[in-house]
Amino acid sequence: MLQPSTFQVYNASAGSGKTFTLVKEYLKVVLQSEDRFLFQRILAITFTNKAAAEMKERILDNLQLFAFGKENELLLVIEKETNLEKKTIAQRSVKILAEILQNYAAFSVTTIDSFTHKIIKTFAHDLGLNINFEVELDTATLLSQAVDLLISKIGIENDMTNVLIDFSLEKANEDKSWDISRDLNEFAKILLNENDAKHFKQLQQKTLGDFTNLKNKLTSLQKVLQKKFETIGEQGLAIIETMHLNHKDFYRSMLPNHFSALAISVDKAKFFDDSKLRERIEENMFYAKSKSEDIKTARTHAGILGKESQKTVTKIH
């Protein structure tokens, strides 16, 4: 006769409460036994150091809470699912917590790689390994090999080839090195960041075609915005000319120069980040105190348009 399975499988997405469930199941096992040392025969395995540390912390925090007779959502769930009395849970929590703290090394909540490393360490002699071996992950070499593999697909996979060639041409057009390997290596480092992993998972179903379409849409939008900036620049210069003002009438000619740069290309208006120009625009001060009131008033009209261009630049950045 087949024995019933002692395993339970929980399949859930990120942020759905897996850690809560795992902590609950762990506590149910240790609290339903009168053996205070049972935790030494339990192995809890998770994927990341962060998840393992969080699970340990929650187990200890809840045991301490139960030991003091305090109540929370988890306690109510455990009472319902185990039929244990609150007094029994409190008494056992005191004993289990004390034993865990006295023999913390036996409190096995760890990662898969740490568990594997422990097994290999135990059988190092049988595997022909030095007993003092160390595991070292050379991420730089690993990423470099992955990038080389990606670049080797040029000429084999058409979509990948077109994307990589376009990237090289864009860099060349910007007077940068056409060699994209360094850029790809820098970007690849993000893949190893735990905080970014969940965002990349959302892109798993996307194809190169999806990214190409998105790039084309962004490029079209960028052209529209650049045209708007050029129009603002031309309008600013036109107002200054209509008011019969010289560029030197403005504080260090900053505002007219800004409009001139916008009329050519928004990329030419880098000096707009200059704190003095921003300060002058925000304070509505575009002139020296020695100038006449007529000139001050005329330049204020030009300044209003400058302020609008500042808002547009801020929104885009």
Q: How many domains does the chain have?
A: 3
In a domain, 132, yes or no: no
Calculate the dihedral angle through the C-alpha atoms of 219, 220, 226, 232, rounding to the nearest 10 degrees.
Answer: -160
Cα 50 to its chain centre, rounded Å, is 15
Co-location of 230 and 259 in the same domain = yes
**Residue pLDDT, tens place only, 185-224:** 888 877 777 677 777 777 778 887 888 888 889 888 888 8
Co-location of 219 and 306 in the same domain = yes
Sign of CA dihedral 24, 29, 33, 35: negative
User: Which pLDDT score, from 0 to 100, does residue 317 have?
Assistant: 44
Last residue of a domain, one of 88, 122, 156: 122
Last residue of a domain, one of 152, 185, 205: 205
In a domain, 1, yes or no: no
> How far apart, in whole angstroms, are the C-alpha atoms of residue 130 and residue 119?
14
User: Which pLDDT score, from 0 to 100, does residue 185 have?
Assistant: 82
In a domain, 191, yes or no: yes
Co-location of 201 and 216 in the same domain = no
User: Which pLDDT score, from 0 to 100, does residue 77 have?
Assistant: 92
Phi-psi region of 128 (alpha: psi -120 to 50; beta: other; left: phi over 0): left
Co-location of 31 and 111 in the same domain = yes
Helix/strand/coil for 288 = coil
What's the pTM?
Answer: 0.46
Tokens 């009168």 -> residue: 34
User: Which pLDDT score, from 0 to 100, does residue 314 have?
Assistant: 46
In a domain, 272, yes or no: yes
Structure tokens at 100: 């865990």
Tokens 């149910």 -> residue: 28
**Residue pLDDT, tens place only, 1-16:** 455 556 666 666 666 6
Regions of the chain short of the pLDDT cut 70: 1-16, 136-137, 194, 268-275, 277, 281, 283-317
User: Which pLDDT score, from 0 to 100, does residue 95 have?
Assistant: 94
Q: Which domain holds residue 41?
A: 18-122
Co-location of 308 and 229 in the same domain = yes
Nearest to 254 by CA among 279, 229, 230, 231: 279
User: Which pLDDT score, from 0 to 100, does residue 172 have?
Assistant: 78
